Amino acid sequence: MSNLLEVHKVVKQYGDYVALNEVSLNVPKGSIYGLLGPNGAGKTSLIRIINQITLPDSGEVILDGEKLQPKHVQTIGYLPEERGLYTSMKVGEQCLYLAQMKGLSKAEAKLQLEYWFDRLGIQGWWNKKIQELSKGMAQKIQFVVCVLHKPKLLIFDEPFSGFDPVNANIIKDEILALKEQGATIIFSTHRMESVEELCDHIALIHKSNKLIEGKLSDVKRQFKTNSFEVGILTDNVEGLMYDITQKFTVSPASFKSLNDDLKLDIQIGNSAPNELLHILTQRGQVTHFVEKIPSVNDIFIQTVTDNKV
């Protein structure tokens, strides 16, 4: 799978402040790519460079094999975090206007709009003004505007903010459907559970530097501590503890279970899980045996706190 978007050593400075310090990214075609980072890390600066809102001081951006150039705005759909619409303009006119700015012809834009309004069940809104709509309704319009011109690359900055759970789910399904149709999606958010759920690649930017990038499963493998959560029913706790501590590091754990079992957190290092399991089965009844996989949230917090300067 080749990359749809490649960012090579991009530097952006605002006065003395370095917003992006030689950041490079590779966004594979057809992926949902999570762009993570704490507030002020440089995500928005990077997104603005990809959208050609600002220019990088140095470095380059390659989109679909070509150096980024003005015509590419038509192949990108952008849903910014700070978003809004003309409040006194009618929904239909507004969407037509924004679609035409993305290079669609009027007739084409109308066709696409009808399709999307139908799909999201908002056909009756055509002649409404934005100021008559609720915030969530306006967000739906914005989503439509963002995807209307069938962009190859979609950039969503906090797409779920302002949506109730039902509508957030609708939007999530639409994002997945777009991916199915072959779009590549860059997804910037603070909601880690949606990253877990949607993204197959992630990158973490912190203090203007990229710290992590890769396939989500690879990143998780990289961050896993080789420890297992164990629940066991045994009469001889001392014996068990003696056996385990010979080979592994043990600490108490807490998780929900229906049994009154002994809960342990065991680090096995480079040993095979079966070795641990062998010891355990000899000493009692194993009720719980799970490898601890770091969540994106854990990875995020760990990386950010480790890199506090």
Partner 1 sequence: MSIISLIIKREFVAKVRNKSFVVMTFLSPLLFVAIAGFIAYLSSMKPETKRIAIHDETGLFADSFLKQNKKDSEYHYLNLSEIDSESLKDSIAKENFEGLILIPKTTLKELETKVEFISNNSPSISFIKKTQGLIASKITKLNFEKAQLDTIAIQKAKATVNMHLAKSSGEESLKGLNEIKIAIGGAFGYLIMMFIIIYGNMVMRSVIEEKTNRIIEIIISSVKPFQLMIGKIVGTSLAGLLQFTIWAIIGLSLMLAASMFFGVDIGPTSRISPEMMHVAQREFSGTAQMYISEAWNLPIASILFGFVVYFIGGYFLYSSFYAAIGAAVDNQTDSQQFLLPIIMPLVLSVYIGFFTVVNDPHGTIAIVFSMIPLTSPIVMLMRLPFGVPWWQIAISVSLLFATFFFVVWFAAKIYRVGILMYGKKPTWKELYKWLKY
Please identify, using beta-carbon distances, which residue of 126 and 289 lies nearer to partner 1: 126
Q: Which stretch binds partner 1 (CB under 8 A): 60-68, 80-88, 112-120, 235-243?
A: 80-88
> Per rule CB under 8 A, is residue 40 in the interface with partner 1?
no
> Per rule CB under 8 A, is residue 48 in the interface with partner 1?
yes
Please identify, using beta-carbon distances, which residue of 19 and 280 lies nearer to partner 1: 19
112-123 per-residue burial string, b: 16 or more CB within 10 A, e: under 16: bbeebbeebebe
Minimum distance between the CB of residue 75 and partner 1, rounded to whole angstroms?
11
Please identify, using beta-carbon distances, which residue of 129 and 215 lies nearer to partner 1: 129
Cα(179)–Cα(207) distance, rounded to whole angstroms? Answer: 30
Cα(16)–Cα(283) distance, rounded to whole angstroms? Answer: 63
Please identify, using beta-carbon distances, which residue of 54 and 226 lies nearer to partner 1: 54
Q: Which stretch binds partner 1 (CB under 8 A): 142-150, 193-201, 241-249, 256-264?
A: 142-150
Cα(47)–Cα(155) distance, rounded to whole angstroms? Answer: 8
> Per rule CB under 8 A, is residue 140 in the interface with partner 1?
no
Q: Which stretch binds partner 1 (CB under 8 A): 48-56, 167-175, 190-198, 261-269?
A: 48-56
For residue 158 the two structure tokens come to 């906090």
- The single residue among 39, 88, 246, 254 that binds partner 1, judged by CB under 8 A, is 88
Alpha helices of 51-159 — where are they, by DSSP H?
A: 91-101, 106-119, 135-147
Minimum distance between the CB of residue 37 and partner 1, rounded to whole angstroms?
19
Q: Using alpha carbons only, give the angle 62, 67, 69 rounded to the nearest 5 degrees.
A: 115
Of 270, 31, 39, nearest to 154 by C-alpha is 31
Q: Using alpha carbons only, give the angle 148, 41, 203 rounded to the nearest 5 degrees.
A: 65
Count of residues in the chain: 309
Cα(287)–Cα(31) distance, rounded to whole angstroms? Answer: 38
> Per rule CB under 8 A, is residue 11 in the interface with partner 1?
no
Alpha carbon separation from 280 to 113, 190, 270, 284, 289 (Å, rounded): 61, 40, 18, 6, 10
- The single residue among 85, 186, 199, 276 that binds partner 1, judged by CB under 8 A, is 85
> Per rule CB under 8 A, is residue 86 in the interface with partner 1?
yes
> Per rule CB under 8 A, is residue 15 in the interface with partner 1?
yes
- The single residue among 9, 24, 60, 101 that binds partner 1, judged by CB under 8 A, is 101
Minimum distance between the CB of residue 266 and partner 1, rounded to whole angstroms?
50
> Per rule CB under 8 A, is residue 83 in the interface with partner 1?
yes
Cα(296)–Cα(242) distance, rounded to whole angstroms? Answer: 34
Minimum distance between the CB of residue 96 and partner 1, rounded to whole angstroms?
10
Q: Which stretch binds partner 1 (CB under 8 A): 25-33, 67-75, 184-192, 225-233?
A: 67-75
Most distant CA atoms of the chain, gap in Å: 78
x/- map, 268-307, partner 1, by CB under 8 A: ----------------------------------------
**Do residues 146 and 116 make contact, with C-beta atoms less than 8 angstroms apart?**
no
Question: Residues in contact with partner 1, total (CB under 8 A)?
Answer: 29
Distance of CA 92 to the CA centre of its chain: 31
Q: What residues line the site for partner 1 (CB under 8 A)?
A: 14-15, 48, 51-54, 70, 73-74, 76, 78, 80, 82-89, 97-98, 100-102, 142, 145-146
